[in-house]
Structures are given as structure tokens and as C-alpha cells.
Amino acid sequence: MNTLSPAPKLPVSLVANPKLSSWVGFTDDGRVAISIGKVEIGQGIVTALAQIAADELDVAITRIEMTRASTAASPNEGVTSGSLSIQQSGRALRQVCAEVRQRFLRAASERLGVDASRLDIDDGTISGPGNVRTSYWELMGEVSLDHDATGSPTAKSAAARTVAGHSVQRVDIPDKVFARPRFIHDLALPGLVHGRVLRPDLPDARLIALNEAAARAVPGFIAIVRDGGFAGVVADNETAAEAALKALRKGATWSDGGPLPDDDDLAGFLKSQPVETTIIDTRMAEPARHPAQTLRRQYTRPYIAHASIAPSCAVAQWDGDRVHVWTHSQGVYLLRADLAIVLKLPAESIVVEHIEGAGCYGHNAADDVALDAVLLAKAAGGRPVRVQWSRHDEMSHAPFGAAMAIEIEADLDSNNEITGWRHAIWSNGHAARPGRAAQPTLLAASEIANPYPRMVSTNPPAANGGGGDRNSVPLYDFPAWTITSHRLLTMPVRTSALRTLGGQGNVFAIESLLDEIAELRGEDPIAFRLRHLRDERARDVIRAAARRAQWKPQKQPGIGHGLGFARYKNTGAYCAAIAEIKGADGVRVRRLTLAVDVGEAINPDGVINQIEGGAIQAASWVLKERVRFDRTRITSTSWTDYPILTFSEVPAVDVEIIQRPEIEPVGAGEAAHGPVTAAIANAVYDCLGVRVRDLPITRDRIIAAMERAP
Amino acid sequence: MPAIQFQLNGAATAVDVEPDQTLLDVLRGRLGVTSAHFGCGAGECGACYVMVDHRAMASCDMPMWSVADRDIVTVEGLGTVGVPHPLQRAFIAEQAMQCGYCVSGILISAAALLKRNPSPTEAEVRAALDRNLCRCGSHNRMVRAVLRAAAEMAAS
């Protein structure tokens, strides 16, 4: 039974790439080549998609070869983001494989003279009564896949699947434990040389003069590339490239940079800028009752760094007026579109091929460094140039997740029931990915001689989950609300997509205030939420987390418990989190208990891994993370100045999946961040009796909140 | 340029390099050993860890002159697909990573721990891995994998 998607509505990725042959092919050596437009960023997507294909085609998963995304051959699936890969790529691939299977069954039926309904497929061998048999590979010459998908037949029923729904081991992990090169950083190409780019210490400072003599004297030096304010060096090995960069830096003269806001008053800054205001949603109550009281609360979230363990890296190689780019970008076609604008080349002259990098958690410098490599490779005489950013540049020039100020006013009646709700957000836009606008968003594009203006980040439309407003519309049945988003039109600190976009901040705010209101009423916070939720799947994850954490454990001094809940984007995965913290000299998160519902979990262990990882990353954001700057420069440019949670500090994480094999699957990568953030904040209140409304929740912030509290 | 001699994964190795060049650059750039990864260049993240005389150390800020006559082990020297180190088996069994960029350094820290303490407690594992950063949040899986490897080694 598949009540959510009546056939034959095609999945979005299939509408964009309808040809069956662009997704599936059979190879001479008895394998199945699956081509997808989504990319591996450590989330295990390649394995989950291989499972879907293996199931639908009835071949062993070991026969599946996942081709990495490239603009030369892959379906164009936009960007790997927003926890949409299972939803978009997975649904498309499932449908494609179902149709491919049917075409082969039809051909086998003709060849074997057996009705297709009496044929079975087992690991690619098609057999029927009387021991007749053939296979995909025997038939591949006579079955054309150069047809568009039709939307019928539909895929197997949930009960008939044997691979999807099971915890298959990830296909990429053996390479990673046996140190077989898999990352772009380890890419070996003949004639490979190395590049480094000179970037200013002060944001927006422009290169005025450059003394090149010392860099040119470095042994191994190949070339300096200058294009307006963009400057870089190419050398025949990394040591030489670093030495030449150091020499260039000494010889560089810069203009002043742009001023930065006061990082101790982010709300003051965010609320004083010119903005574009959008009403995201309103709901009107019947008669506007006069509230007995109105609670007005402000919450803030700082700028947060993606802080990938690997600095961004790319390789580019020119051949005449064509260029090949190896990248860990999340969107090969989108990157290509921006490169085409900057290079003034037709897109067909550029091939962008994906190779894994480290986890990126959103739009980091992966795309920027690709343009850097392309520009430097112009001076390398046809040799491939590998460019790697420094840790410092990664932590200062890459985009950050946007800071947010969120104000909620809750009208309460005399029983402290909610009668009205106004939620307003001030934030820079949460998206400035390449390939979506008429102007490029790549960093070097704003540095070259004919620079493109730096794009001020925007927000995806509400239909795609929104940006700063993501998860701001309550899932709770309050009688009236108005949700307003103020997007900044200035951008002194560069921002773009970080996991959940505005979701983490908005869920933190909503769930913190709900907790406060439940307490005012003297009502259990879980009972209070359940009373305001009609969606059974929402109620189920909350009840499951509560049961698993034995809510509510007996009060002990120094220990606190808190709950947070959200459905990611209000359309994706449901997640409830319960935090157990120890509060003394600072806060330590001891345990996070989560329940999650992603519909059909293709790879349950993969889902658990994503939820665990998201929970730990969120705990790190909440307890420690904050991009620091003075009025002229970013100062949190090392791991010492931008600490993240360490092995001794991470909490135990316990995850329960509510499996719903009959419901279309959604992604898990961003479901935990909002609920965990809120759960920790609420546990801090339970433990210490103080509401900390400014992230991160550090010792200083707790003390400040205690001093503010009446 | 003087030749600097050391043991690399059990083999006598000599390279002609500037004495202040880093071990990481020499491993990756000269010797084609890519398991050790560049992460920060300041010894703060652990992605570049290698074993130096049985201790896990950052190779990104280790000058070659200090490597002379040392015994260096990288993940390439821990085990192979045919003969895996128990840690490699355990990291697969526990699916102990997301992106895996930090994993080489973590395998090295864990291998060094198990050499000096074959049956560590969970707290000791966490303490031993504290200088390795993981951004994906796979910490608990990795700790379980190290404990699994220790148990397997004790049983064999």
C-alpha cells in the first residue's frame, strides 16, 4: 500500500533526467553501472542508493557499481543538500530500476517463450519454468534503455524488498580504513603540480601591490598568477608552493578591509541593518481575545563555521580552451554554471567531476577552491594543478552559517494557554550557492580584475523549506500566529548554507519558549506538547523518546533533563530528543536519547549514524561554537580559537528508529540539530533554573543569564 | 642535501630532503603514502598522525631532521585487506565513520594506545583519542570499534 504517491507522478529528478539510460547501464563484465547526480559527503548516500538499485533490479549489491557524479555523463540532480538525496535520487532510481526490470522481463519473455509473469530474477539471472534462463547481460544488446521513464510500472511493494530496509555495510568504508586513496586530497595525476592562493587577513581587503621577487626565487617555483586582486602561485610540490605563498604574503600590500559587527552584540547588529521583510505565514484566530499576558523573548544564534576537518581542495587541468575540474562540490552542474560565467566559456567546454572530500555540512569553500584551481591552472602549461586552502582561510574566508536573532511574543490567556504567537527572525540569507543566479558566488569572482559583486545571501523559497525561516512555522495547533522573516541586505560576514539553515535557531527558540510556558502552567512539557500536536507521527516520536529515556527521571541535584522536537522543514524527518546534562562548573551533556521517523529507512544503521552524528555536532554547536571576530578580522581561525567537542566530551547517544516501510523515505542528515539544541537548553533550565537564550551555552553565558534573572 | 634514514612501515627508507621539510609533505609528496591527511598544519586536529616509535604524533609540523633513525608506521603499515589489523576490521564492523577523513589519524592513535594498553577502559580510549578531532560526530562508534578490537586481540 502506498497511500502517499499515486503513480504515475514522476519523482523530480526523473522529470529533469527522464532517460532510463542516464541512470542505469549493464557492463560487459557482468556488472550494473548506476549513475546518479548526488554525491557522497560522508552521509552514506551512495550505499543507500546502491541498495535501492539492487533491490529493484534483483542483483547482488556487490554487482552494483556507483559512478561518481560528473557533468560529462551524470543525471543533473542539482545539489546534494537539504536531506533530499533519498527523497529525490532514491525515488527516481527506484522508479528507473523498476522500469528497466520490466523492459528486460519483456525481452526475456520473448526470447524464452515464457509469460513475463512466470519469470523470476535472481542476481541478474532471469529464469522460468522448465529451467529456461537468460540474464540482463545476455539481453543487454537487444534492450534499449534510451527511453524516457513513464511512471509505470510502480516499484516493488515494501514487503518484497530484501536489501532496502536493511543495514548494509557502506561501500566506501573499506577504502578509508585501508588507506586506499579515495579523497580528492589524495588524487594522483601525471604531472600534478601545486597551487596556493594569497588571501587577505582582513575581509574584503583588496590587493594593491605585490612584490613577486622572493616567491620567484623559491626552488620549484613555476608561476605566479595575478588577475586584479586575485593572486596565487604554482610550484612543483606542496612545500615549494607554501614557501612561495609565504614569500608573496610578505610582499603584499592590501587596502583596508570592511568593518565587522560587534560580536558581543549580534542581535543589536542584526536588528539595525536594512532588511527585506517577508511574512512567512499567518493564521488568524476567531475573535482576537485580549491576552492576560504576553511573553516576549529573544533568542540568538552566532555565526557557525562548517569547519570541515579537511581544508577545501580542487584540481584543474586545461587542454586548449577546455578545462577539467575535480572537486568535492555538492553540485557539479551548479559549479560548472558559475565557472562558465567567470571564464566566459560555454558550459560544454568545462567538465566538473566529483571526488569525495571530507564532510562539508553545507556550502563551505569547496566551490571557491575549484575556481582558484581553474585560474591557477591557466599558468601551468596543461598540467593539472591541485589547490588546497589553509586551515586559516577555511576558518575565515569560507562562508559561515548565518547568525540569527529571533523574537517570539506569545499571548497567554488567564490559564496560560497560548492564544497568539508572533515569531520574527533577523538574519542574513542562508544560501549563496553557485549556479543559481546570473552572477557567480565563487570567492575569486569577486577578486579578479573585472570583479563580480559579492552576492548578498538569499533564502530558498518556503516551498523548498525556506532559509532563515526554516522550521519557523509551528507544527503546534496554536490558534493564531504570524511568522516574519527579515533578511539582511548587507553582509559584512559571508554566509551560506550550513546544515538546517535557520532550522536550528528557530527550533531552539520555539521549543525553549514552549518549555517555559509549560512550566508556567505547571504542566509536564511532554504532555503540553502532545496536547498541541495532531500529527500522529509527531506524537509517536515524542512518546518513543520519552519511553526510551524513562521520562521523566527522578530529580537529582546537578542533573537536568530537557526535550526538543521538530519535523525537519515541517515536511521531512520527525525527530524528538531528550538531553540529560550535568550542570556544575559549566554544562556537560551526558546522554542524548532520540527517536526518529524518516518513513522507510533504506539503511537503518545509516540513519542511526546520521542521527548520532547530527546530535553530536549539534551538541558541539550548542556548547562551544561561535565564530569570533574583532571589528576588522575573523579571529577564530584555528582549532584552538574555534574548539569543537572532543572524544571525552561527547555524550552517549541512543537512537530509536520508527520504521514505516510503507511511507516514502526522507533524509536524516539534518533532523537532529534543532531538537538536540532545544533539548540541551531545556535541560540546562531543568538543572540550573536559568534560561540561556543566547547560543552557545557556555559558562559565561550561564552566569550572565543568572545575573539577569530576577 | 643529506639523506635522512628511517624505518617506514618496517622498511628501511632514505630520502634526500631539506631537514626542515615536514614528515607529512615527504610522506605524501615524495613517498606516495597518502593515509596521513593534512588538516590544520599545526598539530591541532590529528588528521596527519603517524606512529613514531610507537607513539601517535602529528606529522604536519614534524621536521624531517627529527625523524632520523625513528620507526614510522602509517595506516598502510597497520594491515592490509588480506591481513587486516583488528582495528581495521573493527572500524568496518562498527561502521565507525561518516566521511572518514579523520579516520587514519584515529586508527594510529588507537593502535598506539593498544600497544601500550591492550585492554583499555572506555574512558581510557576517549582520553587517548582526545587529540583527534572528528567533525561528523562518529566518536561513539569509533570508541566502540577500538574496544571491539581490544577484545578481539585479547581473545586471540
Complete DSSP assignment for B102-146:
THHHHHHHHHHHHHH-SS--HHHHHHHTTTS--SSS-HHHHHHHH
pLDDT of residue A3: 47
- Tell me the shortest Cα–Cα distance from B71 to chain A, in angstroms: 19
Same domain? B46 vs B96: no
- Asked if the model's pLDDT at residue B2 lies above 80, the reply is no
Backbone dihedral angles phi then psi of residue A101, each to the nearest 5 degrees: -55, -45
Task: Find the closest chain A residue to B83 by CA distance.
Answer: A178
Nearest to A177 among B91, B102, B126 (CB): B91
Nearest of A22, A19, A101 to residue A69 by alpha carbon: A22
Query: Looking at beta carbons, which residues of chain A come within 8 Å of B91?
Result: 173, 177
Confidence category of residue A6, pLDDT binned at 50, 70, 90 = very low
pLDDT of residue A285: 73
Chain position carrying cell 521520562: A551
Same domain? B15 vs B62: yes
Query: Looking at beta carbons, which residues of chain B come within 8 Å of A311?
Result: 38-39
Same domain? B70 vs B101: no
Rounded-to-integer distance, Cα A151 and Cα A11, Å: 9
Cβ pairs bridging A and B (under 8 Å): 162
Backbone dihedral angles phi then psi of residue A597, each to the nearest 5 degrees: -130, 110
Neighbours of A180 (CB within 10 A): 14
The domain spanning residue B57 has which CATH number?
A: 3.10.20.30
Which pLDDT tens digit goes with each residue over B46-100? 999 999 999 999 999 999 999 999 999 999 999 999 999 999 999 999 999 999 9
Compute, in degrees rounded to 10, the torsion defined by CA atoms B60, B64, B68, B74. 30
Confidence category of residue A110, pLDDT binned at 50, 70, 90 = very high
Nearest of A431, A499, A433, A494 to residue A467 by alpha carbon: A431
pLDDT of residue A227: 97
Confidence category of residue A584, pLDDT binned at 50, 70, 90 = confident
**Strand locations in A144-183 (E):** none
Neighbours of A67 (CB within 10 A): 14
B139 with A170: Cβ contact below 8 A: no
- Tell me the shortest Cα–Cα distance from B77 to chain A, in angstroms: 9
Where is the domain boundary, B77, B98, B114? B77
A178 with B84: Cβ contact below 8 A: yes
**Strand locations in A355-489 (E):** 385-388, 404-412, 418-427, 481-488
Same domain? B101 vs B149: yes
- Asked if the model's pLDDT at residue A585 lies above 80, the reply is no
pLDDT of residue A8: 64
Same domain? B71 vs B121: no
- Asked if the model's pLDDT at residue A710 lies above 80, the reply is no
Which pLDDT tens digit goes with each residue over A416-461? 999 999 999 999 999 999 999 899 999 999 999 999 999 999 999 9
pLDDT of residue A293: 95
Nearest to B130 among A609, A640, A646 (CB): A646
Which pLDDT tens digit goes with each residue over A127-171? 999 999 999 999 999 999 999 999 998 899 999 999 999 999 999
- Asked if the model's pLDDT at residue A83 lies above 90, the reply is no
B137 with A178: Cβ contact below 8 A: no
Query: Looking at beta carbons, which residues of chain A come within 8 Å of B25?
Result: 237-239
- Asked if the model's pLDDT at residue A7 lies above 60, the reply is no
Contacts within 8 Å (CB) and 24+ apart, A244-247 = A244/A196, A244/A215, A244/A216, A244/A218, A244/A220, A245/A196, A245/A197, A245/A198, A245/A215, A247/A214, A247/A215, A247/A217, A247/A218
Query: Looking at beta carbons, which residues of chain A come within 8 Å of B141?
Result: 609, 612
Nearest to A178 among B81, B130, B140 (CB): B81
The domain spanning residue B118 has which CATH number?
A: 1.10.150.120
Where is the domain boundary, B43, B77, B111? B77
Same domain? B90 vs B143: yes
- Asked if the model's pLDDT at residue A5 lies above 60, the reply is no
Confidence category of residue A287, pLDDT binned at 50, 70, 90 = low
Q: Which three cell numbers stand for residue A157?
A: 511493494
Same domain? B35 vs B71: yes
- Asked if the model's pLDDT at residue A93 lies above 50, the reply is yes
Q: Which three cell numbers stand for residue A237?
A: 610540490
Helix (H) or strand (E) holding A682: helix A673-688
Chain position carrying cell 490559564: A415
Nearest of A288, A306, A293, A516 to residue A394 by alpha carbon: A306
Amino acid identity for residue A243 in this structure: A
- Asked if the model's pLDDT at residue A237 lies above 60, the reply is yes
A309 with B101: Cβ contact below 8 A: yes
% of chain A surpassing 70 pLDDT: 98
pLDDT of residue A138: 97
**Mean local confidence (pLDDT), A87-109:** 96
- Asked if the model's pLDDT at residue A493 lies above 60, the reply is yes
Chain position carrying cell 550548542: A622
Same domain? B47 vs B98: no
Chain-wide mean pLDDT for chain A? 95
Residue bearing the bigger pLDDT, A707 or A526: A526
pLDDT of residue A586: 87
Print the domain residue range for B112: 86-155
- Tell me the shortest Cα–Cα distance from A544 to chain B, in angstroms: 22
- Tell me the shortest Cα–Cα distance from A329 to chain B, in angstroms: 14
ipTM of this complex: 0.98
- Asked if the model's pLDDT at residue A1 lies above 80, the reply is no
Nearest of A93, A99, A101, A87 to residue A4 by alpha carbon: A87
- Tell me the shortest Cα–Cα distance from A13 to chain B, in angstroms: 25
Same domain? B30 vs B67: yes
Which pLDDT tens digit goes with each residue over B19-31? 999 999 999 999 9
Query: Looking at beta carbons, which residues of chain A come within 8 Å of B134?
Result: 309, 647
Nearest to B92 among A177, A181, A646 (CB): A177
Same domain? B101 vs B128: yes
Which pLDDT tens digit goes with each residue over A394-404? 999 999 999 99
- Tell me the shortest Cα–Cα distance from B83 to chain A, in angstroms: 11
Same domain? B129 vs B150: yes
Amino acid identity for residue A377 in this structure: A
Nearest to B75 among A179, A609, A644 (CB): A179
- Tell me the shortest Cα–Cα distance from A527 to chain B, in angstroms: 31
Same domain? B94 vs B68: no
Neighbours of A590 (CB within 10 A): 13
pLDDT of residue A709: 73
Helix (H) or strand (E) holding A213: helix A213-216
Backbone dihedral angles phi then psi of residue B111, each to the nearest 5 degrees: -65, -40
Chain position carrying cell 522481463: A105
Would you call B48 an interface residue with chain A, using a CB distance cutoff of 8 Å? no
Compute, in degrees rounded to 10, the torsion defined by CA atoms A36, A41, A46, A48. -120
pLDDT of residue A288: 59
pLDDT of residue B47: 98
Compute, in degrees rounded to 10, the torsion defined by CA atoms A405, A408, A409, A413. -160
Nearest to B103 among A176, A620, A648 (CB): A176
Helix (H) or strand (E) holding A500: none
Rounded-to-integer distance, Cα A169 and Cα A51, Å: 10
- Asked if the model's pLDDT at residue A2 lies above 50, the reply is no
The answer to whether A124 touches A104, Cβ cutoff 8 Å, is: no
Confidence category of residue A203, pLDDT binned at 50, 70, 90 = confident
Confidence category of residue B1, pLDDT binned at 50, 70, 90 = low
Would you call B68 an interface residue with chain A, using a CB distance cutoff of 8 Å? no
The SS3 assignment for A317 reads strand
Which pLDDT tens digit goes with each residue over A310-366? 999 999 999 999 999 999 999 999 999 999 999 999 999 999 999 999 999 999 999
Confidence category of residue A708, pLDDT binned at 50, 70, 90 = confident
Task: Tally the domains of chain B.
Answer: 2
Where is the domain boundary, B46, B77, B108? B77
Nearest to B97 among A173, A186, A640 (CB): A173
Query: Looking at beta carbons, which residues of chain A come within 8 Å of B44?
Result: 638-640
Chain-wide mean pLDDT for chain B? 97
Which pLDDT tens digit goes with each residue over A494-512? 999 999 999 999 999 999 9
A188 with B98: Cβ contact below 8 A: no
pLDDT of residue A553: 87
Give the DSSP letter of residue A62.
Answer: G
